[in-house]
A = this chain, B = another copy of it.
Amino acid sequence: MVELNESTRDEYMDYIIKAAMKNDIEQFRHLFLELHPADQADVFLHLEELERKRVYEFLSPEEFAEIFEGLEVDEQKNIALELNDHYAAEVFNNMYADDVADFLSELQQENVSDILKAMDDEDADDVRELLAYEEETAGAIMTKEFISIKAYDTVGDVIELLRQEGPDAETIYYLYVVDEKERLAGVTSIRDLITSISTEKIENIMSTRVVSVHEKTDQEEVAQLIQKYDFLAAPVVDDDNTLLGIVTVDDVLDVIEEEATEDLGEITAARGSTDVTLTSFQAAKKRAPWIIMLMFFGLVTAEVIGRFEETLETVVLLAAFIPMIMGSAGNTGTQSLAVSVRALATGSLEKRGLWKTIIREFSTGLMIGVMSGAVIALLLAIFYGDPLLGGIVGVSIVLSLGMASVIGTTIPLVINKLKLDPAIASGPFITTLNDLISLMIYFTVATSLIQYL
């Protein structure tokens, strides 16, 4: 297998393109198929339309299926339009059912039906089953291509089965044992197989207590489970413990990546738009509503400041510290938010308890507030020669930071507990809320002390 990197790819691609354009099918197949499918997909994406057409001619649907699986859904959509119907159907038949389902879940309903009708019945049924699951559940990300064996099989039987079916299964490292009703009864591994004699019965080497996940379990929980136990796969079962499929560790890698992107998107109100393949306009369309919505909150803040216009007119200098106080509250709240989001993502919250976390964050916020409040009060007293102004700003910072840390911690946790839309817990919303509260604290403190200024 040839490994490509940025520097070697271009040269290698030249050879491939030349072979394609000279219609040298043998040379093309030799060069192209020596690449790992992930690199084939990489090269393929760099081809022009005319060159891509040659790929469809020179590669069988089965060979092209591996490339197609390696593309992003947006890329798949464009490429699918270039394939003739029969070729496309064969490509889908040769893909893993979960990959087909991922692709179809992004299409219009009518296109989905057409594609499913063109596919082989058995393959189409698997895909339909996966499509029926709610997104981001174990059922939606599981693969149907797994090997199940029976407790009365011998090691020799199973090895023979692996010889035949191994190439089609997504993983052969764990072998799940089912009873006559397809209920999960045990698990064994290829490690156990090769250390046993071939006449040994599976029931004697299998472990009967299998860690499994329910079909409706959230994908993040599945990822945490696989990570906790260092598994390479986990079986997915229904209420009756019937084995429905397996989630493999490479799917979990994608889930963790996806959840990290989601978390970041939420914290930055850039949900669904951190993908660099979007055009400017697509990205702006997704992001502008957030910015405009947050701007309306900003108008509320403007309203609050307007109410204190009298105070401001008396001491215009007070305006100068608005950004600093708001900024500090915002930053502290965001730090607390990060703690909550990570705690939720890694499952460490359950280990530790909700209240303990909130109280810890509140004390942390207060401590940070006291430290920074003291520093700023001192600075203002010395450099502006105005200890009272220093006091006003300092006290406001202590109170604001204490509040901000509680808000930053609790909102995401409460949202999560109540199963509300987590977007409300996004960083900018929390920051905007903290802005508002810190401003009110600041002006209230200032107004009540202004007579002494």
A98 within 8 A of B: no
- The answer for the CA separation of A331 and B271 in the assembled complex, in Å, is 12
Contact call B1/A207, Cβ cutoff below 8 A:
yes
Sample (15) of A-B pairs whose CB atoms are under 8 Å apart: A268-B338, A276-B342, A276-B360, A280-B367, A287-B335, A287-B368, A292-B375, A295-B376, A295-B397, A302-B323, A305-B320, A305-B323, A319-B319, A327-B435, A330-B428
Contact call B265/A439, Cβ cutoff below 8 A:
no
Contact call B335/A269, Cβ cutoff below 8 A:
yes
- The answer for the CA separation of A432 and B323 in the assembled complex, in Å, is 9
Contact residues in B for A326 (Cβ distance below 8 Å): 323, 326
A321 and chain B: residue at smallest CB distance: B302
Shortest distance in angstroms between A99's beta carbon and chain B's nearest beta carbon?
12
Contact call A209/B1, Cβ cutoff below 8 A:
yes
In the complex, chain A residues 285-300 whose Cβ is within 8 Å of any chain B Cβ: 287-288, 290-292, 294-295, 297-299
Contact residues in B for A281 (Cβ distance below 8 Å): 364, 367
A113 within 8 A of B: no
Which of B6, B270, B327, B336 contacts A335 (CB under 8 A)?
B270
A445 within 8 A of B: no
Interface-facing stretch out of A102-110, A189-197, A236-244 = A189-197
Contact residues in B for A279 (Cβ distance below 8 Å): 360
In the complex, chain A residues 208-260 whose Cβ is within 8 Å of any chain B Cβ: 209-211, 226-230, 232, 249-250, 252-254, 256-257, 260
A252 and chain B: residue at smallest CB distance: B253
How many monomers of this protein are in the complex? 2
Interface of A, helix, strand, loop or mixed by DSSP = helix
A3 within 8 A of B: yes
A292 and chain B: residue at smallest CB distance: B372
Which of B195, B275, B294, B337 contacts A268 (CB under 8 A)?
B337
Size of chain A's interface in residues, with CB distance under 8 A?
121
Contact call B229/A232, Cβ cutoff below 8 A:
no
A87 within 8 A of B: no
Question: Measuring CB to CB, which residues of chain A are less than 8 angstroms from any residue of chain B?
Answer: 1-3, 6, 34, 36, 38, 159, 162-163, 166, 172-173, 190-191, 194-195, 207, 209-211, 226-230, 232, 249-250, 252-254, 256-257, 260-261, 263-265, 267-270, 273-277, 279-281, 283-284, 287-288, 290-292, 294-295, 297-299, 301-303, 305-306, 309, 312-313, 316-317, 319-328, 330-332, 334-339, 341-343, 345-346, 348-350, 352, 357, 360-361, 363-364, 367-368, 371-372, 375-376, 379, 397, 401, 427-428, 431-432, 435, 439
- The answer for the CA separation of A323 and B304 in the assembled complex, in Å, is 11
Contact call A372/B207, Cβ cutoff below 8 A:
no
Contact residues in B for A325 (Cβ distance below 8 Å): 298
- The answer for the CA separation of A301 and B359 in the assembled complex, in Å, is 33
A229 and chain B: residue at smallest CB distance: B38
A319 and chain B: residue at smallest CB distance: B319
Contact residues in B for A332 (Cβ distance below 8 Å): 287, 291
Which of B191, B209, B294 contacts A166 (CB under 8 A)?
B191
Which of B2, B38, B339 contacts A270 (CB under 8 A)?
B339
Contact call B334/A428, Cβ cutoff below 8 A:
yes
Shortest distance in angstroms between A134's beta carbon and chain B's nearest beta carbon?
22
Contact residues in B for A1 (Cβ distance below 8 Å): 207, 209-211
